[in-house]
């Protein structure tokens, strides 16, 4: 695999510093190349909002709800996501660095090529989301929920999936020799695939 580089802080042309967006409705808003620094987006709600190539540093997304919105090619650095919800959102190519993630809920949507290396996803719930070629290197997913995900081509090296609910997810790119899988919950066909990648000869009887 090739190095994807560090795109956590994309180039921007406009900066918003210290703004109070508490409980703001951002539905339909469109932002391109904006740097949001120390902005309070607590309890923000948005349907169909679009952020392209934006940078978020020290932004609070606590208790915010985003539906059918896009955060594409964005960088999130030291942001806080507590009880944050994304429904059917597009975050293709976005990256998270040193963020605090607690009780994050992601339902559906396209998070392909997202960078979550080293992220603490222990209390996160992802269901039905496309995460093709996502970078989960070193991610802490103990006890988390990653169900029915398209994880084809995803990077899992050094990820801790202890007790993680992986049922229905595509684990074809997972090398069980490079991750911690103790107690992970999978379906029978997934278990067979993992066993075969360990070199076992799986037979029906």
Per-residue pLDDT reduced to its tens digit, 53-70: 999 999 999 999 999 999
Confidence of residue 1 (pLDDT cuts 50, 70, 90): very low
Please report which confidence band the pLDDT of residue 2 belongs to, taking 50, 70 and 90 as the band edges: very low
What does the pLDDT read at residue 7?
A: 44
Amino acid 190: pLDDT? 93
Q: What are phi and psi of 181, to 5 degrees?
A: -115, 5
| Cβ neighbour number for residue 20 with a 10 Å cutoff | 10
Q: Look over the chain and give the mean of its residue pLDDT values, rounded to a whole number.
A: 94
Ramachandran class of 168: left when φ > 0, alpha when ψ lies in -120 to 50, beta otherwise? left
| pLDDT for res 198 | 84
pLDDT beyond 50 at 95:
yes
Domain ranges of the chain: 111-197
Give the CATH architecture of domain 111-197: 3 Solenoid (2.160)
With beta carbons less than 8 A apart as the criterion, state whether 80 and 99 touch. yes
The predicted pLDDT at position 205 comes to 76
Average pLDDT, stretch 162-190? 96
Mean per-residue pLDDT for 169-190?
A: 95
Kindly indicate the confidence band of residue 8, based on its pLDDT and cuts at 50, 70 and 90. Answer: low
Q: Which residues pair with 127 in a beta bridge?
A: 107, 147
* pTM for this model (two decimals): 0.92
Average the pLDDT over 103-117 and give the result: 98
Identify the three-state secondary structure at position 115. strand
């Amino acid at each position: 695999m090739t190095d994807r580089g560090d795109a956590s802080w994309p180039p921007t042309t406009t900066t918003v510093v210290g703004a109070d967006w508490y409980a703001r409705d951002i539905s339909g808003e469109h932002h391109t190349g904006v740097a949001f620094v120390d902005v309070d987006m607590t309890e923000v709600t948005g349907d169909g909002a679009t952020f392209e190539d934006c940078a978020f540093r020290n932004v609070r997304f606590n208790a915010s709800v985003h539906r059918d919105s896009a955060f594409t090619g964005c960088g999130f650095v030291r942001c806080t996501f507590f009880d944050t919800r994304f429904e059917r959102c597009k975050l293709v190519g976005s990256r998270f660095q040193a963020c605090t993630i607690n009780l994050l809920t992601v339902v559906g949507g396209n998070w392909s090529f997202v960078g979550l290396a080293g992220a603490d996803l222990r209390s996160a719930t992802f269901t039905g989301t496309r995460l093709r070629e996502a970078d989960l290197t070193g991610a802490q997913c103990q006890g988390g929920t990653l169900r029915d995900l398209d994880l084809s081509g995803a990077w899992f090296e050094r990820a801790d999936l202890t007790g993680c609910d992986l049922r229905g997810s595509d684990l074809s790119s997972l090398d069980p020799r490079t991750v911690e899988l103790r107690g992970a919950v999978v379906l029978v066909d997934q278990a067979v695939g993992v066993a075969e990648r360990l070199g076992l000869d799986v037979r029906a009887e």
